[in-house]
């Protein structure tokens, strides 16, 4: 499994999905349900996409406000867009 992938940025983002974490979370939420083998991978994928969209939206909000730093207000606004 690919633990980490060297990206152009300084940080080394771990591409590995926290499968145990996801399973634990799902179990805690819905103990009566089970999750399939590859199901958590797809859940992980959906989370990645969600985070990606959220980041993009927050960055757009910050740029609109001409702020160099992303504030919580920007993230809140982005989350509200996705909550609908």
Partner 1 sequence: MADHNPDSDSTPRTLLRRVLDTADPRTPRRPRSARAGAQRRALLETASSRRLSSQTKMTTRRYSHGVRSISGSAYVQASGHLEEQTPRTLLKNILLTAPESSILMPKSVVKPVPAPQEVQPSRRESSVGSLELQLPELEPPTTLAPGLLAPGRRKQRLRLSMFQQGVDQGLPLSQEPQRNDDASSLTSSLNLTFATSLQPQSVQRPGLARRPPARRAVDVGAFLQDLRDTSLAPPNIVLEDTQPFSQPTVGCSRRVYRSLPCMPHTGAKDAELAAGCKTRSSGPGMQTNSPEKPAQFLAGEAEEVDAFALDFLSTSSGVSGEDGVEPLQDGVEEAEKRMEEEGVSVSEMEATGAQGPSRAEEPEGHTQVIEAEESQETAEAKGPGASSGDEDASDRAASPELVSSTPESLQARRHHQFLEPDPPPGAAVLSSEPAEPLLVRRPPKPGTTGPRPQQDPHKAGLSHYVKLFSFYAKMPMERKALEMVEKCLDKYFQHLCDDLEVFAAHAGRKTVNPEDVELLMRRQGLVTDQVSLHVLVERYLPLEYRQLLIPCASSGNSVFPAQ
Tokens 């145990």 correspond to 20
Q: What is the DSSP letter of 13?
A: B
Q: How far is the CB of 37 from partner 1 (least distance, A)?
A: 8
Residues in CB range of 8: below 8 A, 6 or more apart: none
Q: How far is the CB of 66 from partner 1 (least distance, A)?
A: 12
Q: How far is the CB of 16 from partner 1 (least distance, A)?
A: 8
d(CA 54, CA 56): 5
Contact set with partner 1 (CB under 8 A): 1-2, 5, 7, 9, 11, 13-18, 21-22, 24-26, 29-30, 32-39, 41-52, 54-56, 58-59, 62, 68-72, 74-76, 79
């Amino acid at each position: 499994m690919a633990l980490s992938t060297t990206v152009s940025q300084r940080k080394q983002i771990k591409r590995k999905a926290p499968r145990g974490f996801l399973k634990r979370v799902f179990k805690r939420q819905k103990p009566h349900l089970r999750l399939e083998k590859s199901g958590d991978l797809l859940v992980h994928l959906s989370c990645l996409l969600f985070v990606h969209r959220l980041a993009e939206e927050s960055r757009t909000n910050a740029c609109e406000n001409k702020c160099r730093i992303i504030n919580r207000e920007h993230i809140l606004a982005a989350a509200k867009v996705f909550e609908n």
